[in-house]
Amino acid sequence: MSSDTGIIIVGAGECGARAALSLRENGYRQAITLIGDEVHLPYERPPLSKQVLLDEATPQASAVLSDIMLGERAIRHIIGASASDIDIVGKQLVLSDGRALPYDKLLLTTGAAPRRLSNAPTSGRIFYLRTFDDALALRSRLRADMHVAVLGGGFIGLEVAASARSRGAKVTVIESQERILKRGVPEPIAETMTALHRRNGVVVKCGVTVLGLEADEQRVAIFLSEGDMISADVLVVGIGAQPRIELAAQAGIAVDNGIAVNERLETSVTDIYAAGDRCSFPHPLYGGRRLRLEAWRNAQDQGILAAANLTGAARSYQAVPYFWSDQYDHTLQIAGLADEGQMVVRRDLGDGAFILFHLDGERRLVAASGVGPGNKIARDIKLSEMLIAKRVIPPIEALAASVNLKSLLPNAAQEIAVLSIHEQTT
């Protein structure tokens, strides 16, 4: 391998940054180039809908890599640049400014982009939230005497709603589905979160669609299918995300709800890998079902695994899917995939907190979803994640009762030690 080529990572978010760090930790000594289309250091996105909007002091991006870390590890970081083409035969990445960078191996981690409203007017009062700059722009508009409309009752929309309400704004959430959190969140938890938002003064409208929008320098008018018109100071759109597949598709790389990769995160083209929000992959815990996960944990884990495989490890991705959301004083967490049709066993933990255990047709634990104040559910969700990974078929009565989930783990003593280490580092 020549020293002037090495590995290029396209996408300088959580996934790409973790991959770059892990390459050096794995002993990789050739060139590493990390390319990002933003002008910031790699940073974490979860705070954008929470701390960045809420902090009293001027917020700073929560950096994954600092300039010092980049320098110490000899990671070349190209900012404000995007890739326009991949020359697969010549093994070169072409940037939008015309530069052609040779590579030995290529990792694509550019994530997903917010789904845009069709036929929406151009307005400085309509916001999408994906980048740190997006969050700063929205933060600059938030004030206690305003009305914030949020289109979309998913994680991002609800976190923005909670943050805006905590800042004293009037908030209306508009969701076209019959309930919020329709994708991957069980109905009892969605009902709990709806009640939580309403207790905090948020108006939640479900089962209504937007027929049209009008905007001027002062307001946004939102015309709904139920006949109402909402007049808001700003509109925040959170209606999902689309994987950024254009570069891969143009190069002839296979796509399937994202860039299609195998269990080792390899694309259909030799020496090109993909990881994070933009790729779909088969998951062994769910019968090889192809998944695409938009989650911080997945981005981190796949970045680390991609780095190992780029250096010859040939490992399969088997991490249990994990999602979380903080809203007001409550935390929602899901380990695994909670699908309709699964058998559900409920465990109540007090103070309104509860966990739903999801079992497949063979009574194997395949997901655990919970909600509650503070860290009430955190330990049981972590233990559930371990049980899911071990493909445990637990006694149903043990799940419903107050039986300690640690006792259901194979090799319980070893697993408890792992859990203790996890708790000390979180």
> Tens of pLDDT along 221-243?
999 999 999 999 999 999 999 99
Whole-number average pLDDT of the chain: 94
Does residue 413 have a pLDDT over 60? no
Does residue 421 have a pLDDT over 90? no
Domains, the chain, in order of start with CATH, read: 7-113+242-310 (3.50.50.60), 116-239 (3.50.50.60), 329-424 (3.30.390.30)
Does residue 417 have a pLDDT over 70? no
Which pLDDT does position 411 carry in this prediction?
A: 78
Q: SS3 for the chain, per residue?
A: CCCCCCEEEECCCHHHHHHHHHHHHCCCCCCEEEECCCCCCCECCHHHHCHHHHCCCCCCCCECCCHHHHHHCCEEEECCCCEEEEECCCCEEEECCCCEEECCEEEECCCEEECCCCCCCCCCCEEECCCHHHHHHHHHHCCCCCEEEEECCCHHHHHHHHHHHHCCCEEEEEECCCCCCCCCCCHHHHHHHHHHHHHCCCEEEECCCEEEEEECCCCEEEEECCCCEEEECEEEECCCEEECCHHHHHCCCCECCCEECCCCCECCCCCEEECHHHEEEEEHHHCCEEECCCCHHHHHHHHHHHHHHHCCCCCCCCCCCEEEEEECCEEEEEEECCCCCCEEEEEEEECCEEEEEEECCCCCEEEEEEEEECCCCHHHHHHHHHHHHCCCCCCHHHHHCCCCHHHHCCCHHHHHHHHHHHHHCC
